[in-house]
Structure 1
Amino acid sequence: MNIGIVGLGLIGGSLGLDLRAQGYHVLGVSRREQTCEQAIACGAVDTASLDLATLKSADVIIICTHIAAILPTVQQLIPYLSPATILTDVGSVKVPVVEAIAPLWQNFVGGHPMAGKTESGIEAAQKELFVNNPYVLTPIASTPASAVQIVEEVARSLQAKIYHCRPEDHDRAVSWISHLPVMVSSNLIAACMGESNPDVLALAQNLASSGFRDTSRVGGGNSELGVMMARYNRQELLRSLNSYRQHLDDLIAIVEQENWEALEQQLKSTHSARPRFLKE
């Protein structure tokens, strides 16, 4: 099977490495010649080009651009595709993508492999990035079952855990466990940088270790991706942010009232709840 990948960054490059290892013939397209050369050199693709026409022989094409570029990419791809070609994407928001692409291309299956790193670009691509991580597919009523089956087969070859859900449910779920954490983590960094005493700020920076590293990691990642999350999943992100603000207000009240028993109960509750979000 020939698989095309548009966008040879972290996700596209990592997909290419693993798919080639599984015996797929991988065709890549990037906006930069240097990226094409790097992708070939590191083994992420068999061939790479700046020209979307390169993908006319692909059976499945995975669009790994940022969210705003998915629709224009599909529109530019369509003249080169056969009706049987299957399109899928890796965007972290699904409702606007599915609503835009499904009317244009019947064999489109919304997808979201939930794996990543703070680094970006083809240089950050790595093998087995998707192993044991969720890979969400969001078919709708008009999506052909045969197309879903083939995309699932490709995702399973990555040893990912496959989940099917409605685009709306996906976006609400990821607003909690992906998009909200990015915003909260970013604001943690911003709050720390707001320390008015430069000596205390310098001390805090020198003392920061694993706790700060873990809680600030996603907030220190790719800013473009963070903006895309907020822009394209705005309503669900606002819902989760408002809920978080209410919980934070409740926490402030507990500390102001020195209600240590209530604080202990809350910490015990979150201690027991956390493993439910991190199943092995």
Structure 2
Amino acid sequence: MIHIVFQEADIEVLKKAQELDESLAGDVRIVRDDFAVGPIQNIYETEGYQARRDYWKTQIDYSPYNTEDLMHMVDDRLMVHNLKRSLDEDAKEEAWIWMGQNQHDVCGYYWLISQLKDYQGRISVLYLNNLPFINDKGQIFYPNSLHQILPKEFLKAKKLSRKVTLSEFEVDPDEWQKLMDENGAIRILEGGKKIVSKEADFYDKDILAGLTKEAQKGNRALQSILSKMKIKTGDVTLLNRMKVLAEEGLIELTGEPSKGWKEFDVKLKSATPTETEITTEANIQ
């Protein structure tokens, strides 16, 4: 059995679950790209693939992360190639796709499933869609990501496994094609597997709500923003939107983000006097 996840943190918790349940034994592989942001038009073609790599290079260059290391690490096309090879070499091999209720996982699922139609009957999906689990305090909660579940709770989660239907192999690639044609800057999950395209400024309100008039180090500012966000995205995406907001004069960003999360400060732009305020002040004088 081959397990496929979409977030790095999912790997560790799934491997711990495998130690508790031999029936979950199998190779764990990951789709690393976040298909919920950035260009996806013609993504399976050379031109579209290159446009997406160019997008990420620009985004990562502005961040503290090492661009070369990350760009080398994210090679999901190779992962799919190796997955197909494993399925071709062993007719009994199957793949389980583990998907949390968030746009990152669901977009990754759409990107992946559109390439696996030839393996219908051997691909299963486990979607944590509005399902209750028990957390480490013994309380019921509804996880939106796989890694939020305790390893022992995977014994319950595995019961959700079901084959991807022939109908889904028809409908889901069509839905992904629609999203590729829209080529929105941002994609969010509205419920079920419904993904909706949004404009590039979708997260700006969250950034502005998380900042104050007092300067904060980048790491602290991002922690504040992410803690308040209902729909979350990656730190690189937020940082690059901060850059745009600074260019638009809505926030102040000083320092060099590419050198580290603590190497820049960010705050709300100090309010400038309006024309009315200036006129009123002049009349008073």
TM-score, normalised via structure 2 length: 0.36
More strand, by proportion = 2
More helix, by proportion = 1
TM-score, normalised via structure 1 length: 0.37
